């Protein structure tokens, strides 16, 4: 056991390439074969510690799970399970978490679960509890997850920084979001953020995504750390971090600006894979660099042109969809896309959610509305879909009636050209002092009439912790501006939390505020 454990300790310090080479040497060494044979003979006579540590070392060295040796050790662990102390249970749990499910492993895991249920009140070590959580995983019954949570919370005052890092991964393995555990762990990580290895930064963000845990202070601390040490990381690492942030809807503004500069300095970094990630991140987070934005988009444009000979139809569509969201129209790539569309090469049979269809429609809308030749129409054909409003818009409807005095002063569920829909529309005079009845302005269209479009959007349509709209909502707002609407974006969840009188006053300020009407019209246009 000592020999195997020492081999594993030396082995895990090597790089991946070294490990592949050394692993072959280890397995081919005649002494290793003799060691395994002796272990097979003596398995049932070994002490509990030697048994679990031997299994742990062999699994981590990559000995195939279907070998007689590993299957024998797993079965002996089943037989001696009740004899294992808490430390041995922890090592066994760590080992099982790395093994594939088979008949013997599943039986041992089930036995371990029963034993944990009996002993959980006696386990005081957070490290051991973490290992058990990882092993039991998402399939553990809810009552056991709750017991493990309570056991950790009892010991939370003794939480160390390394344990805080590991706890995120343990909870993610169980797919169990526990605020009484996650919040103290987050605080501990924020206090020691400079000690977090880069790989752990990514794992923390991925765990937060799995657990649906959104902590703006934690994400900001991690982003500030990466931002302040950006010179230490290569672009591949930063793009991994930005991609993890994007999946959480979190916008690390300064880091996005820094990375944009790095990309413009080294455009060769943008191979097809990296280009698609960059486009996805910046378009979803609706981020345009504050400095040298045109150079940034020209760099993306040039890289896309270089990739055109080998890019697939779907990848080309995704790239142009992302650029369209950001208001950028690259002619050469668009021409190629339209040629493929004319040959019906873009609509795939294995696209059940019609994502390609939606993206293609979006690209075509951007081509028309974001074109420099597009002029604001004097009249927009609208359709009132229904007098009924969804339940989550009833409060807004009632507040507008109370504020304006009559339902005839606004429209609801309005369908516009290009597939756009707005929740409520209000029309005002040219001085923006008076709300006009809808019927009167319908009968006498007037270019001086100001149109207000209210969009009550979910929190998920905004970047986390901000009122900054994400890509799709920002594009919709830009296009509605082009159609002559002044758009008022409202986070519906926060609106629903307002008292009725506060909701009315909130809408009053939105309608009669002059700031509502000062939307910038500038968008990035094509530069071929």
- Secondary structure of 227-287 in HEC code, one letter for each residue: HHCHHHCCHHHHHHHHHHHHHCCCCCHHHHHHHHHHHHHCHHHCCHHHHHHHHHHHHHCCC
Same domain membership, residue 16 and residue 115? yes
Is the pLDDT assigned to residue 454 strictly greater than 80? yes
Residue 246 lies in a domain: yes
Q: Are residues 327 and 299 in the same domain?
A: no
Instruction: Look at residues 122, 146, 166 and tell me which one is the last residue of a structural domain.
Output: 122
Looking at the structure, tell me whether residues 433 and 453 fall in a common domain: yes
- pLDDT, tens digit, for every residue of 372-411? 887 777 667 777 766 678 888 999 999 999 999 888 889 8
Query: Among residues of the chain, what percentage have pLDDT more than 90?
Result: 61
Report phi then psi at 210, rounded to 5: -60, -40
468-475 own/partner pairs: CB under 8 Å, 24+ apart? 468/251, 468/286, 469/286, 470/249, 470/284, 470/285, 470/286, 471/283, 471/284, 471/285, 471/286, 471/322, 471/325, 471/326, 472/325, 473/286, 474/286, 474/325, 475/324, 475/325, 475/327, 475/362, 475/366
**What pLDDT is attached to residue 501?**
92
Q: Is the confidence at residue 131, as pLDDT, over 50?
A: yes
Three-state SS sequence of 481-523: HHCCEEEEEEEHHHHHCCCHHHHHHHHHHHHHCHHHHCCCCCC
Q: How many CB atoms lie within 10 A of CB 124?
A: 12
pLDDT band per the 50, 70, 90 thresholds, residue 522: very low
Could you tell me which residues are beta bridge partners of residue 410? Answer: 426
Residues 419 and 505 in one domain: yes
Nearest-angstrom CA–CA distance, 129 and 138: 15
Would you say the C-alpha torsion 422, 426, 427, 431 has a positive or negative sign? negative
Q: Is the pLDDT of residue 528 over 70?
A: no
Q: Is residue 426 part of a domain?
A: yes
Q: Is residue 147 part of a domain?
A: no
Q: What is the mean pLDDT of the chain?
A: 88
Domain membership of residue 156 (yes or no) is: no
410-443 pLDDT, tens digit each: 988 888 988 899 999 998 887 778 888 887 776 6
List pLDDT tens digits, range 37-56. 999 999 999 999 999 999 99
- Say whether pLDDT at 470 is over 60: yes
Of 338, 319, 332, the residue nearest 527 (C-alpha):
332
Pair 357, 263 in one domain: no
**Which pLDDT band, with edges at 50, 70 and 90, does 283 fall under?**
very high
β-sheet bridge partners, residue 384: 414
* 296, 343: one domain: no
Give the count of beta carbons closer than 10 Å to the beta carbon of residue 421: 13
57, 88, 122 — which closes off a domain? Answer: 122
CA 434, CA 282: separation in Å to the nearest integer? 39
Q: Is residue 248 part of a domain?
A: yes
Helix (H, G, I), strand (E, B) or coil at 123: coil
Q: In terms of residue numbers, what domain contains 26?
A: 1-122
Angle between helices 142-154 and 126-136 (to 10 degrees): 160
Residue 413 and residue 354 share a domain: no
The pLDDT tens digits for 17-32 are 898 899 899 999 999 9
**Span 106-112, average pLDDT:** 92
Residue 229 domain-assigned?
Answer: yes
Backbone angles phi, psi at 455, to 5 degrees: -120, 115
Which tens digit of pLDDT belongs to each residue from 498-512?
Answer: 999 999 999 999 988
Boundary residue ending a domain (122, 140, 173): 122
On whether the CB atoms of residues 149 and 155 are closer than 8 A, the answer is no
What gap in Å lies between CA 318 and CA 262, rounded to an integer? 23
Q: Do 470 and 361 share a domain, yes or no?
A: no
Q: Return the HEC string of 406-463.
A: CHHHEEEEEECHHHCEEEEEEEECCCCCCEECHHHHHHCCCCCCEEEEEEEECHHHEC
The Cα 487–Cα 425 span in angstroms is 10
Instruction: Please check the confidence at residue 525 and state whether its pLDDT lies above 70.
Output: no
- The number of C-alpha atoms within 13 Å of 484 and in the hemisphere containing its C-beta is 22
Contacts of 247 (CB under 8 A, 6+ apart): 205, 206, 209
Q: How confident is the model at residue 519 (pLDDT cuts 50, 70, 90)?
A: very low
Question: Residues with Cβ < 8 Å from 302, sequence gap 6 or more?
Answer: 267
Using N-to-C axis directions, what is the helix angle for 126-136 and 161-174, rounded to 10°? Answer: 20
State the DSSP H helix or E strand holding residue 57, giving kind and residue range, or none if neither. helix 48-61
Residue-wise pLDDT for 207-259, tens only, equals 999 999 999 999 999 999 999 998 889 999 999 999 999 999 999 999 999 99
Q: Hunting for tokens 């088979």 — which residue is that?
A: 102
Q: 414 - beta bridge partners? A: 384, 422
pLDDT (tens digit per residue) in 79-103: 999 999 999 999 999 999 889 989 9
Number of domains, the chain: 4
Residue 281's pLDDT band (cuts 50, 70, 90): very high
Clarify whether residues 221 and 240 are in a common domain: yes
Contact indicator for 270, 300 with CB cutoff of 8 Å: yes
Say yes or no to pLDDT of 308 above 50. Answer: yes
Q: Could you tell me where the DSSP H helices lie in 137-234?
A: 142-154, 161-174, 179-191, 198-211, 216-228
Q: What is the pTM of this model?
A: 0.86
Residue 309 structure tokens: 């000979």
The reply to whether 349 and 406 lie within a common domain is: no
Same domain, 318 and 300: no
Asked if residue 289 is part of any domain, the answer here is yes
* Residues 97 and 56 occupy one common structural domain: yes
In-domain check, residue 193: no
Tell me the per-residue pLDDT of 168-207, one tens digit each, with 9 for 90 and over. Answer: 999 999 999 999 999 999 999 999 999 999 999 999 999 9
| Among 486, 415, 417, residue whose Cα is nearest residue 450 | 486
What pLDDT is recorded for position 348? 63
Q: Give CA 432 to chain center in angstroms.
A: 41
């Amino acid at each position: 056991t000592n020999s195997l454990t020492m081999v594993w300790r030396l082995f895990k310090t090597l790089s991946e390439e070294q490990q592949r080479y050394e692993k072959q040497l280890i397995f081919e060494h005649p002494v290793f074969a003799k060691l395994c044979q002796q272990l097979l003979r003596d398995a049932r006579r070994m002490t509990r510690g030697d048994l679990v540590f031997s299994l742990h070392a062999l699994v981590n060295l990559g000995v195939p799970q279907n070998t007689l040796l590993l299957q024998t050790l797993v079965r002996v662990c089943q037989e001696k399970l009740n004899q294992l102390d808490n430390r041995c249970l922890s090592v066994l749990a760590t080992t099982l978490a790395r093994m594939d499910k088979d008949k013997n492993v599943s039986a041992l895991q089930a036995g371990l679960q029963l034993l944990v249920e009996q002993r959980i009140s006696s386990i005081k070590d957070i490290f051991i509890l973490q290992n058990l959580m990882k092993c039991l995983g998402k399939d553990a019954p809810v009552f056991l997850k709750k017991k493990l949570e309570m056991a950790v919370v009892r010991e939370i005052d003794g939480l160390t920084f390394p344990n805080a890092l590991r706890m995120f991964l343990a909870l993610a393995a169980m797919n169990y979001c526990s605020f009484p555990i996650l919040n103290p762990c987050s605080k501990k990580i924020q206090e020691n953020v400079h000690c977090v290895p880069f790989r752990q930064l990514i794992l923390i963000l991925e765990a937060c995504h799995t657990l649906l845990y959104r902590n703006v202070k934690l994400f900001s601390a991690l982003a500030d750390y990466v931002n302040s040490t950006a010179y230490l990381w290569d672009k591949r690492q930063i793009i991994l971090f930005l991609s993890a942030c994007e999946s959480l809807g979190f916008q690390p503004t300064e880091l996005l600006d820094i990375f944009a500069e790095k990309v413009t300095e080294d455009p060769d970094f943008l191979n097809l894979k990296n280009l698609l990630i960059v486009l996805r991140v910046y378009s979803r987070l609706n981020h345009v660099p504050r400095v040298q934005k045109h150079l940034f988009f020209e760099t993306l444009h040039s890289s896309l042109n270089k990739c055109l000979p080998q890019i697939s139809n779907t990848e080309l569509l995704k790239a142009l969809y992302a650029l369209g969201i950001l208001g950028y129209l690259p002619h050469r790539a668009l021409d190629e896309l339209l040629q493929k569309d004319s040959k019906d090469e873009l609509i795939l049979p294995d696209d059940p959610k019609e994502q390609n269809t939606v993206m293609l429609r979006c690209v075509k809308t951007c081509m028309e509305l974001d074109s420099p030749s597009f002029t604001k129409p004097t009249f927009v054909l609208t359709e009132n879909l229904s007098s009924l409003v969804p339940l989550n818009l009833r409060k807004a409807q009632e507040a507008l009636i109370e504020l304006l005095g009559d339902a005839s002063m606004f429209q609801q569920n309005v369908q516009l050209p290009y597939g756009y829909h707005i929740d409520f529309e209000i029309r005002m005079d040219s001085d923006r002092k008076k709300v006009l009845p809808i019927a009167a302005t319908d009968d006498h269209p007037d270019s001086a009439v100001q149109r207000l479009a209210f969009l009550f959007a979910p929190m998920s349509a905004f970047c986390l912790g901000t009122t900054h709209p994400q890509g799709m909502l920002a594009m919709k707002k830009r296009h509605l501006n082009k159609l002559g609407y002044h758009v008022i974006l409202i986070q519906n969840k926060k609106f629903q939390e307002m008292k009725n009188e506060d909701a009315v006053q909130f809408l009053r300020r939105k309608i009669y505020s002059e700031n509502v009407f000062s939307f910038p019209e500038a968008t990035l246009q094509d530069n071929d």
